Amino acid sequence: MNGVRVGSQTIAFPSCPRLIAMHTVVGKQEGQGPYAEYFHEILADDLLGQKTPEKAERQILEQTIDQALRKQGLVPQDIQYYVGGDLLNQVISTVFSARSLEVPFLGIFSACGTFSQGLGLASVLLQGGFADKVLVATSSHYQTAERQYRYPIELNVQHVSTNQHTVTGAGACVLAADGEGPKITHATFGKVVDMGLKNPNDMGSAMAPAALATLEQHLADTGRSPDYYDLILTGDLGRQGLKMLRILAEKKNLQLNNVADGGALIYGDNPKFGAGASGAACSAVMTLGYVNTQLFLGKLHKVLLIGTGAMLNQLTIQQGESIPTIAHAAAIEA
């Protein structure tokens, strides 16, 4: 049975690919937040004894993938495709993890929206009959992201209240054509949205229009209203971006009573983390940790994950370019 194109940007998956295995790993600071109980593994040392944070991120990702496979007694040879990405240049953490797996690899990048993009692409492969099992994984690390996008942490540069703190961690899951677990029913792939904002210290506000655009398109394509879902989880707008999303939605008479943001949740209200969290791992660990648990317990039944990404780098900011953004949605049901 082939997938069905619904509207202009959404794909329905009649076979409902299943999340049959998953594992999350987070760093020490994430493990001190209010959602710690939902993560499978909390690191005592964010560097894992490695000499560089880049090597540490790679090891975190590899360990996360290994544990996800082990939970279903799987080996890499059982996986037809590995879809994944991270925040670093040339998605190098994911590339090195793919090197050790020796599985056909599709490297992707949507910044903090990479995980939802991966869920959608994996579901396309499964729905089309091109695979029986697909691995999806993402990672990020506070120190590697600071070094690449902002300043090395050794400089101790002070952040502003709209800054977001990159999550250290990784999330990995196996999607399968058959099996038990939450199902992916739809994916809505977003368009690049650029409202002309240029402040790299407020990426949440820049990404909010993309989140709204993808949400509106998903609702229009499927004929649903926001309250069809028990939870609409964005990630990662942070508190500032979530505030902007609500303002923009109200201007369009769209009531979002059930929206939350993974970046605004994971650290709680701790002012140390500015507007909250960001990072490719954030929506992955919140979805595979918290959301999956709530689906299993029957406290949630239908969730729309909207992963948002700020598609900038140091060079474009230095050259005065505005920040292009994107959002991809995946509908997940128990």
Burial (CB < 10 A; 0-12, 13-18, 19+), residue 69, is buried
Region 17-33: mean pLDDT is 98
CA atoms within 13 A on the CB side of 134: 25
Region 159-175: mean pLDDT is 89
pLDDT of residue 76: 98
Q: What is the pLDDT of residues 267-323, one digit of tens each?
A: 999 888 988 999 999 999 999 999 999 999 999 999 999 999 999 888 888 899 999
Report H helices in 132-279. Answer: 142-149, 203-222, 238-251, 262-265
Q: Which of 146-160, 163-177, 254-268 has the lowest mean pLDDT?
A: 146-160
Q: Where are the chain's structural domains?
A: 4-176, 183-333
Type and span of the H or E element at 175: strand 169-176
**E-only strand ranges, 225-276:** 231-235, 259-261
**Is pLDDT at 157 greater than 60 in this prediction?**
no
Answer for the pair 76, 50: CB distance below 8 angstroms, yes or no: no
102 Cβ neighbours under 8 A, 6+ residues apart: 76
**Mean pLDDT, all residues of the chain:** 95
Q: Which of 147-156, 208-217, 285-294 has the lowest mean pLDDT?
A: 147-156
Quote the pTM value: 0.95
Q: What is the pLDDT of residues 179-211, one digit of tens each?
A: 999 999 999 999 999 999 998 889 999 999 999
Closest CA to 78 of 43, 52, 103, 49: 103
Measure the CA–CA gap between 133 and 91, rounded to whole angstroms.
Answer: 22
What is the DSSP-derived secondary structure letter of residue 287?
Answer: I
**What one-letter code names the amino acid at 275?**
A
Q: Does residue 85 sit in helix, strand or coil?
A: strand
Region 111-136: mean pLDDT is 98
Measure the CA–CA gap between 302 and 146, rounded to whole angstroms.
Answer: 35
Domains 4-176 and 183-333 in one fold: yes
Measure the CA–CA gap between 25 and 28, rounded to whole angstroms.
Answer: 10
pLDDT of residue 160: 66
Per-residue confidence band for 158, with pLDDT thresholds at 50, 70 and 90: low
Q: What is the pLDDT of residues 55-100, one digit of tens each?
A: 999 999 999 999 999 999 999 999 999 999 999 999 999 999 999 8
CATH second-level architecture of 4-176?
Answer: 3-Layer(aba) Sandwich (3.40)
Measure the CA–CA gap between 317 and 199, rounded to whole angstroms.
Answer: 8
pLDDT of residue 155: 43
**Is pLDDT at 156 greater than 50 in this prediction?**
no
pLDDT of residue 150: 60
Region 250-261: mean pLDDT is 96
Percent of all residues in the chain with a pLDDT value above 90, rounded to a whole number: 87
Which class is 183-333 in CATH?
alpha beta
Region 38-51: mean pLDDT is 97
Answer for the pair 212, 248: CB distance below 8 angstroms, yes or no: yes
pLDDT of residue 271: 86
